[in-house]
């Protein structure tokens, strides 16, 4: 549809660069998995025997490698969560676990940024978590690496440092639900389509960020992700 046919110009499409390619991956939806590492469930006061659940972030929450992320409003406890992200490349519903890898285009390092105090208050009040999770620039993601239909990872180190100090350190083998199981379970709730991202959960060690912090996330042999936390007043976005 020509731009003149809209009341306002359509927003720019959110896209992620793909390793070794001149084309980008257009993002449709962002799904996130809650409570998928036992130690993190325990540190948040949850029951690790419960299955993970899913929530969403808006597509324009994406920020790319080396971005400056403004410290968000209405929080005094802004926290980091390092995660493996898998990117859907083929549409489907009711996907069997053993076929899940065939629906994945690639994987990347992601950080689920969280207004923890706001999230906790919402949870205590029985309200949705959206205000604590789905805010502006809350979904940093790194360079997307193709999987080419290979098996989804079941092990591999992941870590997050703040100003060079290790805050989170774990392994994908510590997931309560594997990547393939996550894809399968999510596809029972929503039809997955190319462009869908799935943040697969975080290990223990989540903690607060402040203005000036340089945050680096690493997952296995994927390209690391770096973001810097800046004051809102200095942000140009």
pLDDT at residue 107 greater than cutoff 70: yes
What does the angle CA 107 – CA 82 – CA 236 come to, to the nearest 5 degrees? 90
Q: Which domain holds residue 15?
A: 3-234
Reading the block at residue 142, the tokens are 């790194």
> Total domain count for the chain?
1
Return the pLDDT at 128. 87
Is-above-0.85 flag for pTM? yes
CA nearest neighbour of 72 among 14, 38, 119 = 119
pLDDT in tens, 59-85: 999 999 999 999 999 999 999 999 999
- DSSP characters for 104-125? EEEEEEEE--EEHHHHHHHHHT
Residue 38 has pLDDT above 80, yes or no: no
Give the CATH number for residue 208.
Answer: 3.90.850.10
């Amino acid at each position: 549809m020509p731009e003149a046919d809209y009341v306002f110009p359509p927003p720019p499409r959110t896209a992620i660069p793909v390793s070794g390619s001149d084309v980008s991956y257009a993002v449709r939806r962002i799904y996130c998995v809650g409570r998928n590492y036992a130690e993190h469930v325990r540190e948040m006061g949850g029951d690790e025997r419960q299955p993970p659940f899913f929530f969403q972030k808006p597509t324009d929450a994406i920020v790319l490698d080396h971005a400056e992320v403004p410290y968000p409003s209405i929080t005094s406890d802004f926290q980091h969560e390092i995660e493996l992200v898998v990117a859907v490349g083929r549409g489907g519903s009711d996907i069997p676990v053993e076929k899940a890898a065939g629906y994945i285009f690639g994987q990347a390092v992601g950080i689920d940024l969280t207004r923890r105090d706001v999230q906790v208050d919402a949870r205590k009040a029985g309200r949705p978590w959206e205000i604590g999770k789905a805010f502006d620039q809350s979904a940093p993601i790194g360079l997307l690496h193709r999987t080419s239909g290979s098996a989804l990872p079941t092990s591999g180190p992941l870590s997050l440092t703040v100003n060079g100090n290790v805050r989170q350190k774990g392994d994908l083998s510590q997931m309560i639900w594997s990547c393939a199981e996550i894809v399968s379970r999510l596809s029972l709730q929503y039809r997955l389509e190319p462009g869908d991202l799935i943040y697969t959960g975080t290990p223990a060690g989540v903690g607060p960020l402040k203005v000036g912090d340089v945050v680096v996330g690493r997952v296995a042999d994927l390209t690391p992700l770096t973001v810097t936390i800046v004051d809102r007043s200095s942000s140009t976005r």
